[in-house]
Amino acid sequence: MFFFQNPSLIRLGLKAPLVTNKAVSNVFHKTTPSSIAATIKNIAAKRSLSAVSTSNVTFATSSALRFNARGSSFFTSPTRSFSTSLKQLNIASQSASKPTSKWPANSHKAVGYLCIGTSILVFAIVVLGGLTRLTESGLSITEWKPVTGALPPMNEEDWIAEFEKYKASPEFQLLNSGMDLDDFKFIYSMEWSHRLLGRIIGMVFVLPTFYFIATKRVSLKTSAKLLGICGLIGLQGAIGWWMVYSGIDTNLLEERRSKPTVSQYRLATHLGAAFVVYCAMISTGYSVLRNQWIMKNPSEYAKYFQQIQSKSLSRFKLFTKGMFGLIFLTAMSGAFVAGLDAGLIYNTFPHMGEDWIPSKAELFDPVYSRVKDQADLWWRNMLENQATVQLEHRILATTTAIVVFATHMYSHRIKTIIPRHAYKWLNISMGVVTLQYILGMCTLLYLVPTDLAAAHQAGALTLLTCALLVINNLKKPSKANMMILKKYLEESAKKSGAKPLN
């Protein structure tokens, strides 16, 4: 029979086994949650807790209940659904007079669906944002009204009023003076849809987050992550306006010596923040769902548990993190190419014009320097010179492709210790990076047509998703789930007579 020494009890100096699995298991399967708590409390009190104060008893019993509840149903029937016992466990621990914590160890699966579902909307807004930029619609709304701006112009009068505001902007005066009301309606609708989708994402994510936190359907750690994502969504709205402002404020345009377009720095910040929100949602949602899958099917995840413990996997984990970082960096350099319209020069590949790379004089042109001693020559050219920025993007993209290929080749050597899903996502990454590279080349060769450029942007996010899923599938599950998997392996080893795990 399996005995569990609860860490909370050990901390209290109670080293003897407290409750057997069977005792708890019987209690669990036959009684209601509140009586479970009471009965467990009784069992504990009768055994060895008489010397401990009442509050400690409550503390100890709710903890014992929490572990044993999982452990018992796990060992008596490994394939049985764990979500029920988890639920019972949380309710039961809460119904005790002074529970240790009101937060469940694992978040409800709805939290995972919320994150993954909203990440699809974020993917859509990134593509819509790209289309808004490519159709040169981004500067059509010259105000930022987070609440009232949700309503579009309702009648012809409203449209004319909006058009008048746009006529006062540098973009209309310098680039679009021949535009009529119908053309304006198109660019306005693009930008308005982009902003509306942003508002929808905010509502769809923030409201359920508060609901899940208020009803304690989410673990403490995950609730902190969800609140962080809510903050980032709000910040992203502000960054969006900060970016648009750089294209309509005449002083800023003069300072940048630029035609009326947004600053490439602010565009990259906006795109980068969107990527961060997206990755945070995928990562949080995936780990919530994976913890649920583990609880439902521990026997399958036991093998996975052994794999991720392996020391030989640490180098591979490092590679995959490097791969993710490099994809992110390449995407950010792509934002600079897009922000500077640097895809409209050197439309040849792999050569840049007549040569492999432009001359040094062109790549580090003093005209970009803003100080007398030209101390900023190097970095200004790297971030503001179209030719240099395009060359950087080519170099980074090529390095990314090589690193993905190399990681894939390395994965073959240690295939047996790589978790199945991580291996699968790495294979997919190979295909996606190849497509993305070809799409990038075509975007350049065909002078940035809207459809190819939008597909290229979506490709970057798809590639990033694949790399993120590789990393997520190499991560350890939550502490509670790790304990269960470990106990499962120990028990299996005992049964088969094999050496137990360390």
Contact residues: ligand HEM, CB under 6 A: 130, 134, 271, 327, 330-331, 334-335, 337-338, 343, 349, 393-394, 397, 400-401, 433, 436-437, 440-441, 443-444, 448, 453, 456-457, 460, 463
CA atoms of 457 and 393, how far apart (whole Å): 13
What b/e sequence results for 8-41 when a residue is b if at least 16 CB atoms lie within 10 Å of its CB, and e otherwise? Answer: bbeebebeeebbbbebbbebbeebebeebbbbbb
- Give the shortest CB-202-to-ligand HEM separation in angstroms: 22
- Give the shortest CB-257-to-ligand HEM separation in angstroms: 20
- Give the shortest CB-347-to-ligand HEM separation in angstroms: 8
* 3 state DSSP class of 355: strand
- Give the shortest CB-171-to-ligand HEM separation in angstroms: 17
Question: Which of residues 150 and 344 has its CB atom nearest to ligand HEM in the complex?
Answer: 344
Question: Which of residues 120 and 438 has its CB atom nearest to ligand HEM in the complex?
Answer: 438
Query: 28: closest CA among 8, 10, 43?
Result: 43
- Give the shortest CB-357-to-ligand HEM separation in angstroms: 13
- Give the shortest CB-136-to-ligand HEM separation in angstroms: 11
- Give the shortest CB-245-to-ligand HEM separation in angstroms: 19
CA atoms of 427 and 429, how far apart (whole Å): 5
- Give the shortest CB-54-to-ligand HEM separation in angstroms: 60
Question: Which of residues 71 and 440 has its CB atom nearest to ligand HEM in the complex?
Answer: 440
- Give the shortest CB-204-to-ligand HEM separation in angstroms: 24
DSSP 8-state symbol, 297? -
Query: 424: closest CA among 304, 315, 281, 326?
Result: 304
What b/e sequence results for 203-220 when a residue is b if at least 16 CB atoms lie within 10 Å of its CB, and e otherwise? Answer: eebbebbeebbeebbbbe
CA atoms of 290 and 260, how far apart (whole Å): 47
Question: Which of residues 231 and 449 has its CB atom nearest to ligand HEM in the complex?
Answer: 449
What would the DSSP string read from start to end of 138-181?
TTS-----TTGGGSPP-SHHHHHHHHHHHHTSHHHHHT-TT--H
Reading the block at residue 109, the tokens are 């699966």
What b/e sequence results for 327-362 when a residue is b if at least 16 CB atoms lie within 10 Å of its CB, and e otherwise? Answer: bbebbbbbbbbbbbebbeebeeeeebeeeebbeeeb
Question: Which of residues 94 and 330 has its CB atom nearest to ligand HEM in the complex?
Answer: 330
Query: 219: closest CA among 41, 121, 89?
Result: 89
Question: Which of residues 318 and 402 has its CB atom nearest to ligand HEM in the complex?
Answer: 402
Question: Which of residues 388 and 443 has its CB atom nearest to ligand HEM in the complex?
Answer: 443
Question: Which of residues 65 and 326 has its CB atom nearest to ligand HEM in the complex?
Answer: 326
Question: Which of residues 57 and 463 has its CB atom nearest to ligand HEM in the complex?
Answer: 463
User: What is the total residue count of the chain?
Assistant: 502
- Residue 468 vs residues 38, 320, 324, 472: alpha-carbon distances, Å: 44, 9, 7, 6
